[in-house]
Amino acid sequence: MSAFDSFPLGQPAFVTNVLDRAAHLRRDDEKLFAMEQKPSSRAYVIYRDSLLVKRDGDKTRALLGIDEALKSGANPGTIFLGLRDGAAIFGMGLAQAAAEKLIGREDFTVTELRGMAMQGAIPPEELSAIAMAKSMVSWHQRHGYCANCGTRSAMKEGGWKRECPACKAEHFPRTDPVVIMLVASGEKCLLGRQKQFPPGMYSCLAGFVEAAETIEDAVRREILEESGIRCTDVQYYMTQPWPYPSSLMIGCSARALNEDVVVDRSELEDARWFTREEAALMLTRTHPDGLAGPHPFAIAHHLLGRWVHNKS
């Protein structure tokens, strides 16, 4: 099975959740501590945008035993992600010094998560739990101090809250909403590219939802700002958790009201219209000019693929 086969249309990465979050256990410190000690408990270990994996011959394994994780240098403070088949699954962080000590080892390695997922090296059903671990570890690393008074805060409720010992303020993990949209005009769709994209790759336009803004308004505003295209008939498709560091991609479609593209060069390197036939070739990586669409790992591929196959 190829990496493309791992994410069939309508099933991008990070959307298949196999965990019971078991939120009722988060306040039971004694039970969580006891579960950490069980041989059946497992952990995903995160280092920045990478994942600690165990090498088993030619294969790699991301889900580690708690002892394996600790012996590899993972931080002892664990985040309770939930239960899978009755076994507790935790998220753990890895400090830079511990990651550097793993360089050159044959049994463990730290590998960039996105690349592993795109290559199909991690089973798709594990990616949602890994995304949860990555988002939560990143949040704790970035929010160690109370935003109200500046005092060092403490992890509570299995990692799903931080509490300030001084002013008693409570802090909770955040998720940032992002709209990502496929804009069409008849038999053409609008795609753009950023400078950091691989050569020839185009994708759907996207942007953060701002304060007191609806999803529909965010779609219309972002498209207008980045491309000069006014649009209407905004329709919701699906969402994708995106742990970079913790966003929710809200997939939408819209209909263009004009076709004169004016690119915002501070946001995009290029934006242009593509025919349905061109888009189909880009998705299969067979475009004669070497142009390509987004990888099936990302929701943008599924927005584009849905439009390509929808002839109505």
What pLDDT digit, counting tens, does each position of 123-140 carry? Answer: 999 999 999 999 999 999
| Among 231, 230, 247, CA closest to 239 | 247
In the chain, the number of structural domains is 3
- The Cα 117–Cα 283 span in angstroms is 18
Q: Are residues 153 and 182 in the same domain?
A: no
Q: Please give the biggest Cα pair distance in the chain.
A: 63
Q: What is the pLDDT of residue 193?
A: 98
- The Cα 58–Cα 132 span in angstroms is 27
Indicate the angle between helix axes 276-283 and 299-309, nearest 10 degrees.
Answer: 130
Q: Are residues 129 and 155 in the same domain?
A: no
pTM: 0.94
pLDDT above 70: percentage of residues in the chain: 98
- The Cα 61–Cα 94 span in angstroms is 17
pLDDT digits (tens, 9 = 90+) for 239-293: 999 999 999 999 999 999 999 999 999 999 999 999 999 999 999 999 999 999 9
Q: Are residues 159 and 220 in the same domain?
A: no
- The Cα 99–Cα 50 span in angstroms is 10
- The Cα 282–Cα 273 span in angstroms is 13
**Backbone CA torsion sign across 297, 301, 305, 307:** positive
Which residues, at least 6 apart from 107, have a Cβ–Cβ distance to it below 8 Å? 54, 55
Q: Are residues 19 and 135 in the same domain?
A: yes
pLDDT digits (tens, 9 = 90+) for 72-98: 999 987 899 999 999 999 999 999 999
Q: Are residues 164 and 195 in the same domain?
A: no
pLDDT digits (tens, 9 = 90+) for 195-243: 999 999 999 999 999 999 999 999 999 999 999 999 999 999 999 999 9
CB 201 within 8 A of CB 294: yes
Q: Are residues 205 and 279 in the same domain?
A: yes
* CATH classification of the domain holding 199: 3.90.79.10
For 24, the domain range is: 3-141
**Backbone CA torsion sign across 122, 128, 133, 138:** positive
In the chain, the DSSP E strands lie at: 42-47, 50-56, 59-61, 64-65, 79-84, 87-93, 108-112, 154-156, 161-163, 170-171, 176-185, 188-193, 205-208, 231-242, 247-256, 270-275
